[in-house]
Structure 1
Amino acid sequence: MAAKQPAVEEEVQEEKKKGGGKGLIIVLLVVIILLLAGMGAMAYIMLSGGDHKEGDAATDAVHGEAAHGDDGHGDAHADAGHGEEGHGEGHAKQYSPKYKQFEPPLPDAHPEYFVMDKFVVNFYGDGQAKFLAVDLQFMSYYPQITGETGEMEHLRPILKNDIQRLLRNQHFNELNTADGPDHLRTEILEIARKVLEKHNVYPDLLEDVYMTRFVMQ
């Protein structure tokens, strides 16, 4: 019976070794599971954080656009403030690109004048007068129109011809009224604008015409 004792002890030792090996494996499995779970949690947090950042960025962009009044109609609002006549830009005008395009004048630009040669013509005096003398100055805020080398200077002969024809066809009785000279001014301005338009210049760039002399005799 005494001889069997060492064998029993060896078996016990073997069982302990087997049990210890199994315990170590279990511990390793638990550690691995915990590591995997921790890595999964970290990945989730990182991904969730990225989504929040993108969402915050999108929100900030929307708030930024709202703060600047950009509701998708910014250009429309800007254009509404600068209509055909360029309101809000001083004397600058916006017009069709089919006409010649000129550098717009500064908001505080002074008017420019184009002085025509003196007109002295025979007209229908109805026995009251024979001659009509008129001095004219055309006004524009665009020096490209009325300047020394502007469009009207190049068109001077045509303007003179068409205005002389208009003056010769006037009647004393029509001009010899309180608003007679003003009607004549309107007709002269229309004549000049038609000449400009015919030569590809936007007619309304020519603002007005003034008679510095008006004599019937």
Structure 2
Amino acid sequence: MSEEVKEEKKSGGGKGLIIALLVVVILLLIGIGVMAFLLLSSDKHAEDKTSDTEVHASAEHGDGGHGDEQTDGHDVGHAKEYSPKYKQFEPPAPEAPPSYFTMDKFVVNFYGDGQAKFLAVDLKFMSYYPQLVGDAGEMEHLRPILKNDIERLLRNQHYNELSKPDGPDKLRADILDVTRKVLEKHNIYPDLLEDVYMTRFVMQ
């Protein structure tokens, strides 16, 4: 009788071991499947994120600078990529020369600090986009606003500041800044305007 019990216990123990092994194998297979799924999901997510970043980069500003840009290894000269929220213009050819917009002569009373009464300035604005600075360009339509804002800036200048070695350069930077703000208010990407040059600067 005791031998039969022992046999039953032995066979019962063997079955338990087989079941335990099967459970372990199944759990391992499930674990491997979950890991493989997670790895594949993370790769796909990384690819989606990369493609989203590329689309975003092409829709927003380019490098924001004023130098040459390259797209896919092709020289695009002075063309700029920028946000679609701004008015879009046909990009200039890579070899296109700069175009200029000339403002009327400015002669204003300013803070002469006892040394001068009038400040006279002639300005030329430079861009590679003729749609902006050409004869019938955007800045021509904005001429009255530009004249008003630049004259206000000039009237607030001080002789003692302008007579410093870097005085005219600071004024030039301020004029460019004021002009770009006007462009941005009118839905034009401000960095399309590259620079401004003072062809005359007189305090008398």
| TM value normalised by structure 1 | 0.63
Alignment-mate amino acid for residue 168 of structure 2 = P
Is the counterpart of residue 153 in structure 1 residue 132 in structure 2?
no
Aligned to 2:81: 94
Aligned to 1:37: none
Structure 1 Cα separation of the partners of residues 69 and 124 of structure 2 = 25
What is the identity percentage for the equivalent residue pairs of Structure 1 and Structure 2?
Answer: 74
Are the equivalent residues in 1 in contact too, given 2:62–2:82 (CA < 8 A)? no
| TM value normalised by structure 2 | 0.67
Structure 2 Cα separation of the partners of residues 206 and 133 of structure 1 = 23
Residue correspondence of structure 1 range 65-104 to structure 2 within 5 A: 76=54, 83-85=62-64, 87-88=69-70, 89-104=76-91
Give the secondary structure class of the aligned counterpart of 2:157. coil
Quote how far apart the aligned CAs of 1:209 are. 0.1
Structure 2 Cα separation of the partners of residues 208 and 126 of structure 1 = 29
Are the equivalent residues in 2 in contact too, given 1:84–1:95 (CA < 8 A)? no
Correspondent of 1:207 among 194, 200, 203: 194
Quote how far apart the aligned CAs of 1:83 are. 3.6
Quote how far apart the aligned CAs of 1:87 are. 1.3
Quote how far apart the aligned CAs of 1:153 are. 0.1
Give the secondary structure class of the aligned counterpart of 1:189. helix
Is the counterpart of residue 111 in structure 1 residue 98 in structure 2?
yes
Q: What RMSD, in angstroms, separates the aligned Cα atoms of the two structures?
A: 2.2
Structure 1 Cα separation of the partners of residues 189 and 107 of structure 2 = 29
Give the secondary structure class of the aligned counterpart of 1:188. helix
Are the equivalent residues in 2 in contact too, given 1:138–1:206 (CA < 8 A)? yes
Aligned to 2:160: 173
Q: In terms of Rg, which structure is larger? A: 1
5+ residue gaps, structure 2: 1-46, 71-75
5+ residue gaps, structure 1: 1-70
Aligned to 2:112: 125
Structure 1 Cα separation of the partners of residues 128 and 117 of structure 2 = 36
- Matched residue count: 145
Structure 1 segments of 4 or more deviating over 6 A? Answer: 71-75
